[in-house]
Amino acid sequence: MPLIDGCIHPYPEGDSSIRRMALTARELGFDQVVAAGGNDEVPGVLKGTIIAATSVKEVVSTLQGIPQGDGVVMVTSGDLAFNRAVIGLRRVRVLKGIQRSPKGAFNHVAAREAEAKGVAVELDLSPLVGERGIQRQRVISRYRDLLQLHRRYHFPVTLASNARSILGQRSVRDMVFLARLFDMEEGEVMGALSSLDSILSGRSPVQVVRG
Amino acid sequence: MSQLPSQRERRRYVLVRFVPEGISLDPREVYAAVAEACTSLWGDTVSSEISPSVMAWEGQAIVRCRRGTEDRLITAISTITRVGDERVALRTITTSGTLHAIRSRMYPRPELLWERKVGIGGRIFLARAYSGQKVDLIEKGIKGQEMLFFATEDGEVR
């Protein structure tokens, strides 16, 4: 299964070109990266589209402007009602920025729906690297809660560096160590790094084979 | 904690490479960055167990710690985003129990292939191309220097 960095932000949003970030990702042990606002002409790069909207109506109208099958559609998370509605939308693949949402914004009901619809929740590692003190502690605690829900309801999760520069990209090994901060085990990290491949190919992580 | 016959504690050595290529950093500032990262992530008690120290220098660093704490040291190193005023990333290459083994894994600085001025978005950058299709663009301004990171295939630097 290919290992995928869930989201990067290349130039002009960041300071590194998409090709350079793809080269760096390969050096750091990734097979592919999802580039927000990028294109999939560069080898090892999947096109990503981030929808940051305040209402579900706005998300739906933005989705209508995106061609069918055009990369990974990610929506920035909001409150619980917003998240549940977004999870129900057919083309949404990833719920982003869950650590910035209110605490009850993703509960067991949303977890069940995410599992049923195959929508992944992104665990953004950039606050673990870039923040210090109470902000980082809050994110770690939030991810620990999400991980408990993930273990119970088996909805997909992805791990993303959300790097805006090659200096923000981290290796697979670094991600394993950073994920240990919120008690995620190595097998779970590898599963999270390869979950986008299953989601995009429409495969369920567990396949039932009848004899 | 395991000790050698000389009563010295066993240590582990972590080889670290700096990005961007060719950057020169003050060893004391690297030590300060490593110590700050350990303390802010693990607290004073665990940091004293890790007991990090920066050992050697050549575009790369060897960071020493107590045996058994290397995973925590590597996690802390991965949270470093600045050394002094410079934006950097510290990439851990390998871990070893002896300085001899880790020195054998050190490699020379990447070769500078060419250097020229390029204009991007009405700004002039000094472009430095290194092996592995990497091109670093440096703009020196009044408020310090800004860097962009491109590849040789990118239209802007061709």
What was the pLDDT predicted at A101? 92
Domain with CATH 3.30.70.3250 in chain B: 11-104
pLDDT above 80: residue B91 = yes
What was the pLDDT predicted at A207? 54
Taking the CA of residue B1 and the nearest CA in chain A, the distance in Å comes to 23
DSSP per residue over A39-59, as a string? -TTSTTEEEEEEE--SSHHHH
Q: Give dist(CA A194, CA B150) in Å, integer.
A: 27
pLDDT above 80: residue B50 = yes
**In chain A, what residues touch B154 (CB-CB under 8 Å)?**
17, 19-20
DSSP per residue over B29-97, as a string? HHHHHHHHHHHHHHHHHHHHHH--EEEEESSEEEEEEETT-HHHHHHHHTT--EETTEE-EEEEEEEES
pLDDT above 90: residue A201 = no
pLDDT above 60: residue B54 = yes
Contact status, residue A122 vs residue A148, Cβ threshold 8 Å: no
Q: DSSP code of A29?
A: T
Q: Give dist(CA A41, CA A44) in Å, integer.
A: 9
CB-CB under 8 Å, B81 with A168: yes
Confidence of residue B101 (pLDDT cuts 50, 70, 90): very high
Mean pLDDT, chain B, whole residue set: 89
- Closest Cβ–Cβ partner in B71, B134, B146 for A177: B71
Q: DSSP code of B9?
A: B
Confidence of residue A70 (pLDDT cuts 50, 70, 90): confident
Mean pLDDT of B87-105: 92
CB-CB under 8 Å, A171 with B81: no
Mean pLDDT, chain A, whole residue set: 92
pLDDT above 90: residue A69 = no
**Structure confidence by residue, pLDDT tens digits, B75-86:** 999 999 999 989
Residue in the structure block whose two tokens are 């600085």:
B109
ipTM (interface pTM) = 0.91
What was the pLDDT predicted at B73? 96
Confidence of residue A38 (pLDDT cuts 50, 70, 90): confident
What was the pLDDT predicted at A206? 55
What was the pLDDT predicted at B2? 63
Domain residue spans in chain A?
4-201
Find the chain B residues whose C-beta atoms sit closer than 8 A to any C-beta of A: 19-20, 40-41, 71, 74-75, 78-79, 81, 87-89, 91-92, 132-135, 146-151, 153-154, 156
Mean pLDDT of B109-136: 89
CATH number 3.20.20.140 given to A4-201: yes
Q: How many Å separate Cα B136 from the centre of its chain? A: 16
Q: Count other C-beta atoms under 10 Å from residue B12's C-beta.
A: 20
Q: Treating both helix axes as pointing N-terminal to C-terminal, what angle do A80-87 and A108-117 enclose, rounded to 10 degrees?
A: 20
Contacts across the A-B interface (CB distance below 8 Å): 76
Mean pLDDT of B103-121: 86
- Closest Cβ–Cβ partner in A20, A28, A169 for B150: A20
Mean pLDDT lowest among A73-87, A160-174, B113-127: B113-127
CB-CB under 8 Å, B134 with A168: no
What was the pLDDT predicted at B56? 63
CB-CB under 8 Å, A178 with B75: yes
pLDDT above 90: residue B57 = no
What was the pLDDT predicted at A210? 60
| Architecture per CATH, B11-104 | 2-Layer Sandwich (3.30)
CB-CB under 8 Å, B149 with A174: no
